[in-house]
Chains A and B, each alone.
Chain A
Amino acid sequence: MSSREPHDDDRGDRGDRDDFGDSDAFGDLEAELFALGDALDVPAPPPADVAAAVRARLAATPASRVTRTPGTWRRRRWAVVAAVVLAVAALTAATPQGRAAVAQILRYAGIELRLGGAPTTGTTTPGGPTPTSLPGERAVTLAEARAMVRFPVRTPAALGAPDTVTVADGGRVVSMLWPGGLRLDQFDGTISPYLWKQLGPPFPEQVHARGIDALWIGGAHPLGYIKREDGTSVPLRQAAPTLIWENGGVGHRLEGAGDKDRAARIAASLR
């Protein structure tokens, strides 16, 4: 459900622009303002996280008045959210249910792995989904990227400077691209899944090497993202083999490194 239309039956109210005696004078300006509003991006945490946090607060203090101390509360709140989300993720992983075609869902490093839906090799549709950019993705300099996101952005010492750096979705994702389809995504996505991958056999392989704990997805697979507003799954493209891991609250995915040893070597070189 879109944030701007919680009720279909309220939509009609939007048309009451004729209330102004001189509405014609402002008709075009009003249309521009509606369009501007649609183009405005307001960052918000995933609704499910907000709902879980509110529920945790209500459950913790059924009747007493809650006092507010912003700094400490923020930390405690995220601890509560993290605990709830971890519990839900564990439950989901243990009990295959939810999406009809998917046998099991694993959540790891901010990525939802939908296992058993489609074979990892080959494509679900001819050529896979049409490649799509992340929402609001645009090219920036590395310094701009660092200023625009809330988490520390690192670069792999094993590779030269990236050709392109992009920031997407109101600062939630930083991507770096090198020639040959090598791509590193870093995202603020460990609280709730942000990207999803549809995987069939072979299943992801655990990698413990060079101080990295990661999952290696050895086949090409459909990749998409999960909309913050309503949890909708949006397909992006067919992704090449990918290493995914989490470090200091930041989710990482490295795509196009070829084999898992090289991927792990690049991952371990992040500074």
Chain B
Amino acid sequence: MDDDEAIARSLAGDLTAYEALVARYSALAHRTAAMLGAADEAEDVVQEAFVKAYRALASFRRGSPFRPWLLRIVANETHNLTRSRGRRNGLAARLGAVADPVAPDDPEGAAVAGDRRARLLEAVRALPDGERDAVVCRYFLQLSEAETAEVLGRPVGTVKSSTHRGLARLREEVGGELA
């Protein structure tokens, strides 16, 4: 069952079809909420977003991609939450213990690369909100510029310039080459 079929069946009141759609996008929705500032309330945000998305499904333009439409709702819910509690948590994610392909037999080199990665993450966390959101969407969520624009509710040109400014700031913070 592809997205379009699941949406058509959900619109007809088939909750099982919608359940399949929720399961399909659940991990990405959590990732989006956590990375845009919902922190430990990502679970509540995501559930609320899926409930709202179901109720708003009639307004979804059939044939357009579901992913950015849904993530826009997730981003809005995250924004509502952070506004209501008056503060915004940064990028909630942590570096998993990944084997670094750069230096499999070189623990020292791997440690240096890991350190650089941690510094890069801190630098992303420290970006101004608009730049961080753009960088998170483009690189951590791997959305296109058009999708990022839809999710964040900003013109594509703004996404381009925010991303560019963010990259420049990151380059300044962590330097050029891999140490």
Residues of A within 8 A of B (CB): 1, 3-7, 10, 13-14, 16, 19-20, 25-26, 28-30, 32-45, 47-48, 50-55, 57-59, 66, 68, 70, 73-74, 77, 135-138, 170, 228-230
Chain B residues, Cβ within 8 Å of A53: 47
What 15 additional pairs, Cβ within 8 angstroms, besides A34-B139, A42-B92? A4-B31, A6-B28, A19-B160, A26-B167, A26-B171, A32-B120, A36-B95, A39-B117, A40-B93, A40-B94, A42-B30, A50-B50, A51-B26, A52-B19, A55-B18
Chain B's interface size range is: 35 or more
Q: Beta-carbon contacts of B62-92 to A below 8 Å, as 1s and 0s?
A: 0001010000000000000000000000001
In the complex, A4→B144 CA distance in Å? 12
Closest residue of chain B to A1 (Cβ to Cβ) is: B24
Given A4-B142, A47-B27, A229-B27, A58 contacting B18 (CB threshold 8 A): yes
- Decide if B23 touches A50 in the complex (CB within 8 Å): yes
In the complex, A73→B51 CA distance in Å? 14
In the complex, A36→B120 CA distance in Å? 8
- Decide if B140 touches A33 in the complex (CB within 8 Å): yes
A-B contact pairs, 29 of them (CB 8 A): A7-B3, A10-B144, A13-B145, A14-B144, A16-B144, A30-B167, A32-B120, A33-B120, A33-B139, A39-B98, A43-B34, A44-B26, A44-B31, A44-B43, A45-B30, A48-B23, A50-B46, A50-B50, A51-B20, A54-B19, A55-B15, A57-B51, A66-B48, A74-B43, A135-B96, A136-B97, A138-B97, A170-B94, A170-B96
